Amino acid sequence: MATKKSAASTKKSVKKPAPSAKKTTTKVTKVKSVSAAVPAKQSLRTRATRLSGFGRKPAVSAAVAEFLGTFLLAAIVIVTSGQPLFIMFGLIAIVLAVGVASGAYVNPVLTMGALATRRLTVKRAAGFIVAQILGAMLALVVFSAFVANAPAVSQEAALYGQSAPELFTANPVTEGKEWIVLAAELIGSVIFAFGAASVVRHRSAIAKAFVMGGSFYLGLIVAGTAAGYVSGSAILNPAVAVSLQVFNEWELWPVMIYALTPLVGGVLGYVLSDMIHPTDELAA
């Protein structure tokens, strides 16, 4: 009897580990299936984030995007002699190209307006403005080098009216008409910033680009027409004003008209937009 009991107990002890082994393999397969599903979800979220409009990105890549975008914008202004229609389409392309990385401000006017309405932090706004100014300066240096290496015009060609190529520059401010050009620059900057501030309400990247480009076109048309009555120029971008050699002599009126006034207009435009659309999400 003792032998039978020991044999039975031995069989039971041998059979017991089998279920535990099955449970172990079942748990392992479950863990593998979960671990395999997590990267797939993460990749889908990453892809959705990349395609989801203008969000936050690392500060360095955003500053580089602003640098490149402002360089392209300044280059377009120089080569098209400041034609509003060409600048509008160029700005649309720039927004589509770098908008996901930084928001495509490419203008201290919009950067200051976004800072005043808490869409940007002080650190990021300062980095953007520095990058924008450097990008515009690079455009001036590059195209100045091209013009300097252009062949000289012969005397015979000069007789037929051919002249040496020159960089496009802003018209000098007419003495006694400074306040008129300043008012035109202020109105144009407010129009541009007011339209650009509404970009956050559009989810489509194409819609954002066209709103940005169209707002700048409207502001430039209005300001350019008003300033043109007194032979002045409208720029609506302090960084691009550097490319147009406005601040070469660092006189008071050019700084007030093309540097300080547009920044004030940018703040006013963003504030007016927030007053009309107070429920917009702030994109810090």
At residue 11, the pLDDT reads: 44
DSSP code of residue 120: S
pLDDT-based confidence at 43, cuts 50/70/90? low
If you average pLDDT over residues 18-47, what whole number do you get?
47
Segment 167-186, tens digit of pLDDT = 899 999 989 999 999 999 99
| Residue 162 vs residue 172, higher pLDDT | 172
Segment 79-116, tens digit of pLDDT = 999 999 999 999 999 999 998 898 899 999 999 999 99
At residue 49, the pLDDT reads: 42
At residue 249, the pLDDT reads: 75
Q: Work out the burial of residue 214: count CB atoms within 10 Å of its CB; fewer than 13 is exposed, 13-18 middle, 19 or more buried.
A: middle
At residue 157, the pLDDT reads: 65
If you average pLDDT over residues 133-153, what whole number do you get?
91
Decide if pLDDT at 201 tops 80: no
DSSP code of residue 150: S
Q: Is 131 helix (H, G, I), strand (E, B) or coil?
A: helix
pLDDT over 90 percentage in the chain: 59
- Domains present along the chain, CATH in parentheses: 58-276 (1.20.1080.10)
- CA–CA gap between residue 157 and residue 256 (Å, rounded): 41
Entry pTM? 0.76
Decide if pLDDT at 122 tops 80: yes
Decide if pLDDT at 127 tops 80: yes
At residue 279, the pLDDT reads: 62
Written in H, E and C, the secondary structure of 5-40 is HHHHHHHHHHHCHHHHHHHHHHHHHHHHHHHHHHHH
